[in-house]
């Protein structure tokens, strides 16, 4: 069966998990790359549909650079840690992170469809905060008892990797909490595994009676295939608000022309650019970092080229802060 038409679970199971196999598929010699001798804690994982968007024979392809493990990950950088944004200090209950007023983040799974090498939760202790049925109810009780909460953010891992029954059960519980206005979902799945956007999934989203905001994650226009556009169109037609957040990454999207093209393609798909994040200082990611002054220059150049609604907000996260800090 063609993986492009296969059920999403099968497409996910056929993702690349071996570096040499991926390199051979892309016609790149593995011994020409600065690969680590072994990858223990955060192995390669990338769906074939996302690989199809890469340029064969190009070891510097901007999509490949996002997922390919390199020896640079083994370097120590001052100020980098396993908990760069202070999540663990804000845990209010198992799986529940309460940092900001009016909203709370629920980590529903540790699984992702793709392992992005710059991930700020690559070292997160998902096992310690895993949601059992009892702990999920405790999280719901916390949300229900905090009347000031207007929004719940589903995160992970990737919440859209929950099967339809589990996701539907969770959304039904949230839909029954009267003071919630919105359910926000942070997901890379519509970009890297668009076949997951199925009718049962969309039915689950719409059953809540709440406003649904889906924040996708694309860093480069080459990620936005026709399949991604079709999946986002289905969501938009059913009233889901679509936003995008990106991370500013060295040698991947650290120039205004690349980011302008991304914003234009996002808007063509009905997605509004939302955040452009400075890199969170997670251990193993320092080689992706961009100087803040350089980031500001890029943003100024974007503002000269794009209408204001296509310019994302450049932000950074500081542990203990009450909101994301606007840089530009």
Contact 125, 166 (CB under 8 A): no
CA–CA distance, 4 with 237 (Å, rounded to integer): 22
Q: Can you say whether the dihedral through the CA atoms of 46, 49, 54, 56 is positive or negative?
A: positive
Which has the closest alpha carbon to 272: 313, 301, 228? 313
CA–CA distance, 315 with 317 (Å, rounded to integer): 7
Q: Write down the pLDDT at residue 125.
A: 86
Contact 135, 173 (CB under 8 A): no
Q: Write down the pLDDT at residue 232.
A: 98
Domain with CATH 3.20.20.70 in the chain: 88-326
pLDDT tens track, the chain, 328 positions: 465 677 999 999 999 999 999 999 999 999 999 999 887 789 999 999 999 999 999 999 999 999 999 999 999 999 999 999 999 999 998 899 999 999 999 999 999 999 999 999 999 888 777 777 888 999 999 999 999 999 999 999 999 999 999 999 999 999 999 999 999 999 999 999 999 999 999 999 999 999 999 999 999 999 999 999 999 999 999 999 999 999 999 999 999 999 999 999 999 999 999 999 999 999 999 999 999 999 999 999 999 999 999 999 999 999 888 889 999 8
**Which tokens go with 269?**
């798909």
Helices (H), the chain: 8-13, 19-25, 48-51, 64-67, 133-145, 164-175, 189-192, 199-206, 226-237, 256-268, 292-305
Q: Write down the pLDDT at residue 328.
A: 82
CATH for the stretch 88-326:
3.20.20.70
Q: Write down the pLDDT at residue 322.
A: 83
Number of CB atoms found within 10 A of residue 193's CB: 28
- Residues recorded for the chain: 328
Residue labelled with tokens 């929004």? 151
Contact 281, 287 (CB under 8 A): no
Cα 315 off chain centre by: 16
**Which tokens go with 64?**
């490949």
- Three-state DSSP class for 152? strand
| Burial class (CB within 10 angstroms; exposed 0-12, middle 13-18, buried 19+) of 82 | middle
- Three-state DSSP class for 79? coil
């Amino acid at each position: 069966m063609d993986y492009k038409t296969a059920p999403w679970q099968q497409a996910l199971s056929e993702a690349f998990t071996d570096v040499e196999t991926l390199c051979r598929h892309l016609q790149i010699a593995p011994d020409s790359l600065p690969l680590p001798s072994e990858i223990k804690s955060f192995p390669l994982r990338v769906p074939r549909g996302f690989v199809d968007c890469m340029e064969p024979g190009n070891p510097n392809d901007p999509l490949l650079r996002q997922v390919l493990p390199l020896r640079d990950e083994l370097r120590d950088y001052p100020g980098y840690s396993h908990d760069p944004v202070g999540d663990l200090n804000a845990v209010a209950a198992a799986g529940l992170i309460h940092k900001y007023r009016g909203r709370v983040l629920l980590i529903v799974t540790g699984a992702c469809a793709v392992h992005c090498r710059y991930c700020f939760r690559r070292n997160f202790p998902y096992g310690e905060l895993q949601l059992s049925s009892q702990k999920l109810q405790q999280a719901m009780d916390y949300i229900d008892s905090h009347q000031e909460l207007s929004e719940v953010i589903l995160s992970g891992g990737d919440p859209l990797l929950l099967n339809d029954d589990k996701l539907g059960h969770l959304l039904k519980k949230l839909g029954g909490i009267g003071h919630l206005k919105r359910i926000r979902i942070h997901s890379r799945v519509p970009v890297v595994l668009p076949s997951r956007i199925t009718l049962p999934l969309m039915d689950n989203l719409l059953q809540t009676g709440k406003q649904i905001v889906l924040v996708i994650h694309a860093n480069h226009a080459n990620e936005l295939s026709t399949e991604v556009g079709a999946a986002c169109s289905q969501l938009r037609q059913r009233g889901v608000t679509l936003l995008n957040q990106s991370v500013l990454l060295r040698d991947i999207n650290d120039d205004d022309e690349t980011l302008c093209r991304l914003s234009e393609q996002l808007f063509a798909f009905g997605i509004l650019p939302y955040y452009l994040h400075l890199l969170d200082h997670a251990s193993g990611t320092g080689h992706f970092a961009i100087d803040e002054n350089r980031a500001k220059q890029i943003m100024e150049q974007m503002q000269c080229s794009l209408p204001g609604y296509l310019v994302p907000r450049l932000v950074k996260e500081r542990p203990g802060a009450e909101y994301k800090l606007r840089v530009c």
